[in-house]
Amino acid sequence: MKLATLRTEHPDGRLVVVSRDLSRMADAAAIAPHLRAAIEAWDTAAPALQALYAELNAGRHGGAQAFDSLLCAAPLPRAPQWCDGSAFLNHGRLMEKAFNIEPAPDAQSVPLMYQGASDDFLGPHADVPLPSEADGIDFEGEFGVIVGPVPMAVAPAEALAAVRLLVQINDWSLRTLGPREMRSGFGFLQAKPSSSFAPIALTPDELGPAWRDGRVHLRLQVQWNGAHFGAPHGGEMDFGFGELIAHAARTRRLSAGTVIGSGTVSNIDRAAGSACIAERRVLEILDHGAPRTAFMRFGDSVQMQAQCEGSGETPFGRIAQRVVQARP
């Protein structure tokens, strides 16, 4: 099934079920007022939401309305926890070159992960206010999962069973602030402003064979100011989501509603393009000795949509945002 959150005065918004073709929606407040509540009571909420989804797709729901993603917040406007991995080792190797960082000795076997802010996720069409162009404004396209409760020290195969929903993410980065925070040993803070989400959170079965081995096997189409930037494939993850969830839960339990990110989608084949500016700049340094692509300016826009090959469907909907000057 496909779920979305409409913006309301409540910080968690209002939950709706969205038809498979993203054309219609049905209010789900009678089942759960918002997605956070549905995730926390998944065993009872999911069957009722699935029944509503079937009714909506069959055209039998009398209260259905047209779905407009412009009305959407992030599927989870706020979450108990946000842990973002770096599951595409190609991206990690390029970033090590970009920031002159020594690779972790166990990088091939232990995923990198940071814990980010989860109290203010942005919706798919929200403007992105940031303080300064000098901070190196960059987008980062990735996939993620929303999990149910996960016990401490869970095995990867068991961790994968905790996945409730799949999401598509733009994990914004401020590149000039990152190196200092990485060298500090305390991880990201200022370098990672609020992340953005595509409008639809969907159950893994919606992707059919494109969800396997704990990976989203779709291309992530990225456009910057309307021009094609990249279309890397999500299936090239070196660590699947089962491994990422297990890593996050190694020494603690994860609460229902925790969001786990894949990190920037990145492919070894350069023809796929990139899902972030920093990666393109590193390739330019390798090829030409210096970067040729600047970071984003105020007024710039970015669009992202995961696309099914053949049908061209965009199961998560679309992120389309503009960077603006933050006001005090």
Contact (CB, 8 A) for 250 and 155 = no
Question: Residue type at 305?
Answer: Q
DSSP 207: G
Q: Are residues 153 and 281 in the same domain?
A: yes
47 and 93, same structural domain? Answer: no
Compute the radius of gyration of the chain from its Cα atoms. Answer: 19
88 and 17 belong to one structural domain: no
For the chain, the domain total comes to: 2
**Is the same domain home to 58 and 131?**
no
Q: Tell me, yes or no, whether 109 lies in a domain.
A: yes
With respect to residue 268, please indicate whether it lies within any of the assigned structural domains.
Answer: yes
Q: Among 71, 96, 121, where does a domain finish?
A: 71
Range of the domain at 266: 82-325
pLDDT per residue as tens, the chain (328 positions): 999 999 999 999 999 999 999 999 999 999 999 999 999 999 999 999 999 999 999 999 989 999 999 999 999 999 999 999 999 998 778 877 766 777 777 878 899 899 999 999 999 999 999 999 999 999 999 999 999 999 999 999 999 999 999 999 999 999 998 878 777 778 888 889 999 999 999 999 999 999 999 999 999 999 999 999 999 999 999 999 999 999 999 999 999 999 999 999 999 999 999 999 999 999 998 889 899 999 999 999 999 999 998 888 999 999 999 999 998 7
Same domain, 113 and 230: yes
In a domain, 305, yes or no: yes
pLDDT in the model for residue 99: 64
Adjacent-strand bridge partners of 4: 16
3-state SS of 37-55 is: HHHHCHHHHHHHHHHHHHH
CATH code assigned at 157: 3.90.850.10
The full length of the chain comes to: 328
Q: Is residue 251 in a domain?
A: yes
- Read off the tokens for 320: 């389309």
Residue 76 lies in a domain: no
β-strands 301-307, 219-224 pairing: antiparallel
Judgement on whether residues 150 and 33 belong to the same structural domain of the protein: no
- Residue that is last in its domain, among 71, 90, 119: 71
Please write the tens of the pLDDT for every residue from 69-87.
999 999 999 999 999 999 9
What's the pLDDT at 272?
97
Same domain assignment for residues 62 and 104: no
89 assigned to some structural domain: yes
